Amino acid sequence: MSKRPQWVAFGAVVLLVLVLMNLPDSVVARTKLAISSLFLPLFGLVGSAHQLAGDGVKAMVPRATLLHDLDTLRQENQTLHLELARAQALEDENRRLRQIVGWQQVSPWQFRPCHIIARDTADWWSTVRVDAGSRDGVRRGLPIVTAEGLVGRLETVGVTASDVVLVGDPKCRVSVIVRETGESGVLTTLSGGVLDHRLADLTHLPRNSLLRPGMTVYTSGMGGVFPAGIPVGTIVDSRSVGYGLYSEARVRLAADTSRLREVLVLLP
């Protein structure tokens, strides 16, 4: 058998890869979203199957459980109504004080719920794809959260789907603050733990850091990407590095990014 076709194919593939790997970023992003749109019918099918299964489970819940849940939710609703009234009073007061001092008004964030439809096929990146795009009003850089805390930010936005880079990915650094001590640092990559995938490294801490396990970490609002006050996680341990020149800590992330199904996009 002649070897010539094999060498021709080898050359053609190498050439194709060289061209693809040197395309501009904007073209690559659009091409990726276009190629992955081939899978949309399958994602729709899986989504419908999930919904059907969920409906089936709901139909089988006993009436007594539903009534108990309803009662609990009513009580919770009353408490939340009171809390909301209190929060609104505080917000009004805050707005008035801002007007008096002349500070810029802060508009409240809106939420846009969306589903996670796909995960990165390479283990060395932490990205997911969500079913919200530019037609839903989302844009690049918006924060992604869950009820537990910060999840990541939007990296690439298509018309119907977008890529989210998760907290712990090298491309998603978060400026954070420790509530109890007021120390600020930068949340960088995941700690590389095999057993616990929720540990992330907190760097750029002051030399004489007073961190203790269990202290809570929130976004600081610095950098302008994430608004201040979003829960990020809790301190697991801290250590002195660089011959005592600075400190680092490990943070257990509040949101388990490996089990996410639904997330919220924060819209300004």
Contact positions vs other proteins (CB under 8 A): 5-6, 9-10, 12-14, 16-17, 19-21, 23, 28, 31-33, 35-36, 38-39, 42-43, 46, 117-127, 129, 155, 163, 165, 168-171, 189-194, 197, 258-259
Q: Specify the residue for token string 């298509």.
A: 158
Which helix or strand (DSSP H or E) is residue 233 part of? strand 231-241
How far apart CA 189 and CA 173 sit, in angstroms, is: 8
Give the bridge partners for 58, in sequence order.
none
CB of 8 to other proteins, least distance (A): 9
Q: Specify the residue for token string 């990407």.
A: 225
CB of 254 to other proteins, least distance (A): 18
CB of 175 to other proteins, least distance (A): 19
Helix, strand or coil for residue 199? Answer: strand
How far apart CA 26 and CA 107 sit, in angstroms, is: 31
CB of 252 to other proteins, least distance (A): 16
How far apart CA 262 and CA 153 sit, in angstroms, is: 14
CB of 237 to other proteins, least distance (A): 17
Residue 43 vs 109, nearer CB to other proteins:
43
* Degrees to nearest 5, angle at CA 186 with 213 and 260: 75
Question: How far separated are the first and last CA of the chain, in Å rounded?
Answer: 64
CB of 142 to other proteins, least distance (A): 18
Residue 36 vs 234, nearer CB to other proteins:
36
Residue 33 vs 178, nearer CB to other proteins:
33
Residue 176 vs 190, nearer CB to other proteins:
190
Residue 169 vs 183, nearer CB to other proteins:
169
Is the torsion defined by CA of 60, 61, 62, 67 positive or negative?
negative
Both tokens assigned to 155: 């990296």
CB of 32 to other proteins, least distance (A): 4
Residue 149 in contact with residue 254, Cβ under 8 Å?
yes
Residue 14 vs 89, nearer CB to other proteins:
14
Residue 114 vs 215, nearer CB to other proteins:
114
Q: How far is CA 210 from the centre of its chain?
A: 28
